[in-house]
């Protein structure tokens, strides 16, 4: 790997419950996301990325560790295991500064015991990040409390405005500090005769709750959306209560995404102003999607496309002396792949305890031969929409297969049926294909040391 790649900073920006379809660059006519569209145009848009476990806490555990949920955080409100190493530890070992700002949701706080935003995550359970300002969970974006530090330097306070705006301001402050320190060292280096500056690179995370429900945003974005001018997806059934709920909630959802887009513009400007734009990879994604009435369902935990498909874009300003790939990639990126892919962007090998695959070559201009032929999907914590655990997979050639214990549930050819309106799971004409998909899924269960009884 080129020396220039080993020195890059990298940032994650992600929201909660944003489906991949809800971007103007991905074809949604209901919103305009110019800053995210710019990231896609300047980088690589992974149009087949999925959340292999479409629920907040299991995804977040897998995100930080590259371990599947049944090995790490299997359920909602489950805690990241004590002593579990994360991507922050790997970056720290490689000489990176690390920062995490925003929603955590990995400390196992049961919201029946009170407001999770008032819960204090102890320093030793903050994932190994050097700088950490966040909260366990919060579903009130105008009343968001954050905490951090320890001992006499500990703090806990209410953000003065809308969550995404305020967390972005904290994130920008971190970027500006990094830029100032680097510029100061470069100035000292120049005055001392050109000795090399010692400032190391950084890995920083911005995690925001929106566009998670409740669906409302600042007035400047809310005013552009109305139930009257919405275009619903074709798989939202013609059922009055379903369509009414979808049309009531989607305006706020789209406004929240446009607000996040506006804040991404602020972050890009801060990178330029701090002199870091050409040295920083930007990775944008979401933890899972949101059904919003498709197939008559709402929220998450469903195996349908609106729930499991997430945006995943690797971008950043490209120096003229570096060759990077741009455009769309059909690679099947799963949640466990995000950590090793991020490490790969910085020339760092993923440790053996990570389960995922490194797809950084789709940005850096090379390919590995061990890319997966399918992605493994799981729901270990039945909740809304589906009241049973399920397992499944999506193949590189466009088939989706989902099972309950000992019984097929869903099977779609996504190439001909992208809105999943023709379930082939129990159609005898497709019995041979179903058996082949069942056997590939069985191999995933074995390879990941999962426990699930598949159909015979």
| 3-state per-residue secondary structure call for the chain | CCHHHHCCEEEEEEECCCCCCCCHHHCCCCCCCHHHHHHHHHCEEECCCECCCCCHHHHHHHHHHCCCHHHCCCCCCCECCCCCCCHHHHHHHCCCEEEEEEECCCECCCHHHCCHHHCCCCHHHCCCCCEEEEECCCCCCCCCEEEECCHHHCEEEECCCCHHHHHHHHHHHHHHHHHHHHHHHHHHHHHCCCCCCCCCCEEEEEECCCCCCCCCCCHHHHCCCCHHHCCCCCCCCCCHHHHHHHHHHHHHHHHHHHHHHHHHHHHHHHHHHCCCHHHEEEEEEECCCCCCCHHHCCCCCCCCHHHHECCEEEECCCCCCCCCCCEEECCCCCHHHHHHHHHHHCCCCCCCCCCCCCCCHHHHCCCCCCCCCEEEEEECCCCCCCCCCEEEEEECCCEEEEEECCEEEEEEECCCCCCCCCCCCCCHHHHHHHHHHHHHHHHHHHHCCCCCCCCC
Q: What is the pLDDT of residue 6?
A: 40
Per-residue pLDDT of the chain (456 residues; tens, 9 = 90+): 344 444 799 999 999 999 999 999 999 999 999 999 999 999 999 999 999 999 999 999 999 999 999 999 999 999 999 999 999 999 999 999 999 999 999 999 988 888 998 999 999 999 999 999 999 999 999 999 999 999 999 999 999 999 999 999 999 999 999 999 887 776 666 566 655 556 689 999 999 999 999 999 999 999 989 999 999 999 999 999 999 999 999 999 999 999 999 999 999 999 999 999 999 999 999 999 999 999 999 999 999 999 999 999 999 998 877 778 999 999 999 999 999 999 999 999 999 999 999 999 999 988 776 789 999 999 998 887 889 999 999 999 999 999 999 999 999 999 999 999 999 999 999 999 999 999 999 999 999 999 999 998
From-to residues of CATH 3.40.720.10 in the chain: 3-372
Looking at domain 3-372, its CATH class is alpha beta
Q: What is the pLDDT of residue 194?
A: 59
């Amino acid at each position: 790997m080129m020396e220039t790649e080993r020195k890059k900073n990298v940032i994650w920006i992600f929201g909660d419950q944003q489906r991949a379809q809800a971007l103007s660059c991905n074809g949604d006519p209901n919103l305009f996301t110019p800053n995210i569209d710019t990231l896609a145009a300047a980088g690589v848009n992974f149009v087949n990325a999925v959340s292999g476990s479409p629920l907040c806490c299991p995804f977040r555990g897998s995100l930080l560790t590259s371990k599947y949920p049944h090995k790490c955080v299997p359920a909602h409100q489950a805690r990241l295991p004590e002593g579990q190493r994360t991507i922050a530890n790997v970056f720290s070992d490689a000489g990176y500064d690390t920062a995490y700002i925003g929603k955590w949701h990995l400390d196992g706080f049961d919201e029946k015991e009170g407001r999770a935003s008032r819960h204090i995550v102890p320093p030793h359970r903050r994932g190994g990040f050097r700088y950490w300002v966040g909260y366990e969970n919060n579903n009130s974006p105008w009343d968001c409390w954050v905490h951090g530090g320890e001992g006499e330097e500990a703090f806990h306070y209410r953000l003065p405005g809308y969550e995404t705006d305020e967390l972005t301001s904290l994130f920008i402050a971190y970027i500006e500090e990094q830029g100032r320190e680097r510029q100061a060292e470069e100035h000292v280096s120049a005055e001392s005769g050109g000795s090399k500056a010692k400032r190391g690179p950084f890995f920083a995370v911005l995690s925001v709750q929106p566009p998670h429900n409740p669906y409302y945003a600042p007035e400047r974005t809310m005013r552009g959306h109305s139930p009257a001018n919405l275009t619903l997806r074709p798989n939202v059934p013609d059922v009055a209560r379903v369509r009414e709920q979808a049309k009531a909630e989607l305006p706020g959802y789209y406004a929240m995404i446009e607000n996040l887009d506006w804040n991404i513009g602020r972050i890009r400007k801060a990178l330029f102003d701090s002199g870091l734009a050409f040295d920083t990879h930007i990775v944008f994604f979401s933890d899972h999607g949101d059904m919003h009435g498709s197939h008559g369902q709402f929220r998450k935990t469903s195996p349908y496309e609106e729930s499991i498909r997430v945006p995943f874009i690797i971008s950043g300003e490209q120096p003229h002396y570096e060759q990077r790939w741009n455009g769309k990639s059909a690679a099947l990126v799963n949640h466990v792949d995000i950590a090793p892919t991020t490490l790969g962007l910085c020339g760092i090998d993923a440790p053996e305890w990570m389960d995922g695959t490194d797809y950084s070559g789709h940005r850096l201009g090379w390919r590995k031969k061990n890319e997966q032929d399918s992605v493994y999907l799981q729901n270990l914590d039945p909740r809304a929409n589906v009241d049973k655990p399920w397992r499944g997979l999506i193949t590189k050639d466009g088939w989706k297969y989902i099972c309950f214990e000992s019984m097929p549930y869903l099977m779609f050819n996504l190439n001909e049926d992208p809105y999943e309106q023709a379930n082939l799971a129990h159609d005898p004409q497709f019995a041979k294909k179903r058996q082949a998909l069942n056997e590939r899924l069985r191999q995933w269960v074995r390879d990941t040391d999962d426990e699930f009884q598949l159909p015979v």
